[in-house]
Structure 1
């Protein structure tokens, strides 16, 4: 009898553990699929932009606006994400973001230039919401493995971004046109939405309400640490936007062919995948992440310094060093979770950091191009970016200290 009673007591425990493991695996899969969707909507446009512009009879100004809209939308919609999560729940808010993304991807290929801009605005709003909310889900669902899951999340982001630019020309050929090629990425968004809905319905931990109403919420705008984290995130995004927009031309002028320059910039994104899978997991085990962030900043300084002083000597090496340094993005995402106390505060910090950070980053490509036009060379704009990386490393080092906002 005792053995039966013991077996009966053990069985529910085993069952609950199995359900917890299954739920954790499912939400991890949902996080990865969501992350894979947060860059292709943007990176898929570049390789097909000329074809789309000619087909639509659109101007160069239209093309510039199309590539600028996502960054501005990230800033505006990102600030609204915490309020949305409080109203509908974290899991439902992410599902809504994925749905908005998928709808925007379809809408933007249905008609002329204005519809393309409108669809891009809608899809970018979905990305902006998910950008802010998914890191909060990571912290709430995997509190003991924030570093590992943040690394997986950012690796999936980079993989999705590289896939968007690498696969879109092939989709253009297979599907006979830029419209179906761009619309095809909506399938990935809707797949992520289905898995996400199953995950939150199956009881995976995506906090539906966080924070306590009885405690007044302090404005993060008054927190020096919140501003430090925001500047760290914004400055590293500034570099990333410049690299995506201008580095192919910089590398071509340094001696690489057009094809090789495109491949090297793609390689810079792929370099971040293995680093993102290892460095955050190791850094999260320590109370202080400062030296990890500083070390990655030094790689970017070395690469940019090489491009400034001897651009033609080893352009591939300079690009690789810069690419390694750019993987500090995974650390910028992780410190958002580590510097906040609870889910609601993490959401608010994520909204502030990404909303204001992406607004700062959107200035990067314009300022870089302006300096290039004024000086008719790359030395001054690259020197400006070098200074940005120095500032990023300083603020990153401060953000990595064991403190809470």
Structure 2
């Protein structure tokens, strides 16, 4: 009886773990189509709406600004909405934003839905890290890797499929049909909400350091923003860059999907390596990821036509690894799940605001210089600077820097 009971509990725990990962995958898949679907269709959108490159960049900039603002307010939003209702409203916002794009293709609608869908994306992203640390414990790095891989897969799928959808029903169908997976996920989430489960932990004011008073929190925010800034620029402008080099919309979309394959590989492999570490020193994994980004950008600058698949794959691997490792890095700093989640939310808040500037600056450089080489050079310089910053994240210093900040608070 005892052995059978123990086996039953182990099976239940295994299925709970698998179910939790499946839920993270479903949520992650819905977080990038709003951004990535428009990228290979930018020329069609520009011709149909008359928007300039700088204004088109706001289709990516606005969602990232929302991600930053919502992440900073995530504690109060969670207290007000709760985890269950917050994620449901977020999925609804993404679905409505995509549906509006399908029925109305004006420039105003595109910008307004970038805000609405961006708010939904931001709320889910702000809630997931704390949820993962609480539900998965020591297996949190693996869970965050699976979530990051799903998030990037959603973007790659959208970039690959949107030109094909546009060939069937115009560019509005290509950017708008992504309300369907959002509605399906919302229905599954609603079904799960009706099942008996453990109550959500009550939101309470946390003792200890407030993130905005921690020098380390600001350093993490700067670091996270710069190491991930390439994603927003590449998703927005890489297909446009290659269309200017003579590629078709379909081929440039496939190039972005190709990059996503390596983002997903990195998002799974690097956290898995982190999971196997007997310590929490992520510096060498982060350094390898940043070097991959740097190599990819230099390839796009020096030999964009020759070896395009290689440069995009290498850059994609670095970008995929940096997102998931950046989240793990913040969560490593504090042992308490709620305090660590709050630190990660602060880091994402200001980090995503830096991400938001990246496609806009790249678009402005494109209009000023007539090409994208200056944009790739700026990203390469930022990554090189962050390689030096990486050396500061020594795990044995975490208690000291966090405790010192708490005393000053």
User: Which TM class, normalised by the smaller chain length?
Assistant: 0.7 to 0.9
Residue 304 (structure 1) shift: 2.5
Where 2:276 maps in the other structure, the secondary structure is: coil
2:162 is matched with 168
Q: Deviations over 1:342-372 (max 9, x none)?
A: 2322332232112111111122223334445
How far residue 128 of structure 1 moved from its aligned partner, in angstroms, is 0.6
Tell me whether 1:360 sits opposite 2:360 in the alignment: no
Separation in structure 1 between the aligned mates of residue 352 and residue 183 of structure 2, nearest angstrom? 26
1:398 corresponds to which residue?
392
1:82 aligns with 2:75: yes
1:301 aligns with 2:294: yes
Alpha carbons 1:101, 1:123 under 8 Å: kept: yes
Match of 1:3 in 2: none
Distance change in 2, residues 1:194/1:372 (3 Å): closer
2:336 equivalent among 321, 332, 342: 342
1:4-403 paired onto structure 2 within 5 Å: 7=1, 16-51=9-44, 57-60=49-52, 63-111=56-104, 112-174=106-168, 176-202=169-195, 207-209=200-202, 213=205, 216-251=207-242, 257-258=247-248, 260-286=251-277, 287=279, 288-311=281-304, 314-327=307-320, 328-375=322-369, 379-399=373-393, 401=395, 403=398
TM-score of the superposition, structure 1-length normalised? 0.85
Cα offset for 1:223? 1.5
The 8 Å contact of residues 29 and 155 in structure 2, kept in 1 or not, is answered as yes
Larger radius of gyration: 1
Gap runs ≥5 in structure 1: 1-6
1:50 Cα deviation from its structure 2 partner: 4.7
Q: What is the alpha-carbon distance in structure 2 between the residues aligned to residue 205 and residue 148 of structure 1?
A: 23
Tell me the C-alpha RMSD between the 2 structures: 3.0
1:165-197 superposed Cα distances (whole Å, 9 cap, x missing partner): 1112333344x3444444431221122223233
Q: Counterpart of 2:392 in 1: which secondary structure?
A: helix
Secondary structure at 1:188 match in 2 = helix
Matched-pair contact (CA < 8 Å) for 2:159–2:254: no
Between Structure 1 and Structure 2, how many residues are aligned? 393
Question: Does the C-alpha gap of structure 1 residues 315 and 23 become closer, same or farther in structure 2, counting only changes over 3 Å?
Answer: closer
Quick one: structure 1 residues 180 and 344, their matched pair in 2 at CA, closer, same or farther if it must change by over 3 Å?
Answer: same
Q: Return 164-173 or 62-71, whichever deviates more.
A: 62-71
Cα distance per residue 1:194-251 (max 9 Å; x no partner): 32334454456684335x55x5352211212212221221002211122223334545
**1:270–1:397: structure 2 CA closer, same or farther, 3 Å change rule?**
farther
Contact 1:26 1:204 in 2 (8 A): no
